[in-house]
Amino acid sequence: MDHSSPGPSLLFDFDSTLVQVEGADELFAETLANAPDRGGRLARFREITDQGMAGEIPYEQSLRLRVGLLRASRADVARVGEALVGELTPSVHRNRDWIVRNRSRIWIVSGGFHELIAPVATELGIAPARILAHRFRWSAEGFTVGVDPGTALARGGKPAAVREAGIPAPIWVIGDGATDLELREVGLATHFFAFVENRRRSAVVEAADGVLERLEDLPDPAFTHRHRSHSSPSPTQDKN
């Protein structure tokens, strides 16, 4: 049975939120290990990532442009996915037990790839069915050749994925990008919290209902309870 605290459904972005980096950027870097002009190609790839996350170009366009540049093997994808477990955002790492305890109301909603997210989800106790993300299309030789058009993400972005997953209201979204904010703007989420521990995008922060410097800043009932129990009336126990 599940004994987690009651509270809102929590939708976490993945890249630059649960982990400190952008998974697709890491994968692209991995595939360029010995390539000439590696630095320039990497910079171009990251620039497209940033334009998509800041909302300067449509996210799906940014994704298609990047996947068009990518040729990763299954081994590359598996290796980078495992490496992302070592890139957990510090406050996520600190609160791993809280995430595991509350996993029955947590989903990961990402414009990245299921294959890259799965190892981190396992580390945080989150079931694969709760990862709403893109999937790669693979060639017969086992290389990425594009984005699987069959996922809800591919059909209609994060809003379609959240709608189809039947997530109970109220829904809070925690993320660093324009596609996270979009979930509140289309009315699927009641609150959007800009998570700025890794990246601070001013257009996203300005539109947010709250700004989280770290995960503990989330005004979630489970955290509120924990903070209350930590604020002792006795000054001798106050380490701050």
Q: Which of 63, 177, 189, 218 binds Mg ion (CB under 5 A)?
A: 177
Q: Which of 12, 13, 32, 159 binds Mg ion (CB under 5 A)?
A: 13
Distance in Å, CB of 174 to Mg ion, minimum: 10
Nearer Cβ to Mg ion (95/226): 95
Q: Which stretch binds Mg ion (CB under 5 A): 14-22, 69-77, 186-194, 229-237?
A: 14-22
Question: Is there binding between residue 176 and Mg ion (CB under 5 A)?
Answer: yes
Distance in Å, CB of 153 to Mg ion, minimum: 14
Nearer Cβ to Mg ion (19/154): 19
Question: Is there binding between residue 25 and Mg ion (CB under 5 A)?
Answer: no
Distance in Å, CB of 133 to Mg ion, minimum: 12
Cα separation, 229 vs 231, in Å, equals: 6
Question: How many residues form the binding site for Mg ion (CB under 5 A)?
Answer: 6
Nearer Cβ to Mg ion (50/164): 50
Task: Give long-range contacts, CB 8 A cutoff, 24+ apart: 141-149.
Answer: 142/73, 142/74, 143/71, 143/72, 143/73, 144/67, 144/70, 144/71, 144/72, 144/77, 146/67, 146/68, 147/63, 147/64, 147/67
Distance in Å, CB of 204 to Mg ion, minimum: 10
Question: Is there binding between residue 49 and Mg ion (CB under 5 A)?
Answer: no
Q: How many residues does the chain have?
A: 240
Nearer Cβ to Mg ion (151/233): 151
Q: Which stretch binds Mg ion (CB under 5 A): 30-38, 69-77, 173-181, 202-210?
A: 173-181
Distance in Å, CB of 177 to Mg ion, minimum: 4
Taking a C-beta distance cutoff of 8 angstroms, is the pair 110, 13 a contact?
Answer: yes
Cα separation, 49 vs 44, in Å, equals: 9
Q: In the complex, which residues of this chain contact Mg ion (CB under 5 A)? A: 13, 15-17, 176-177
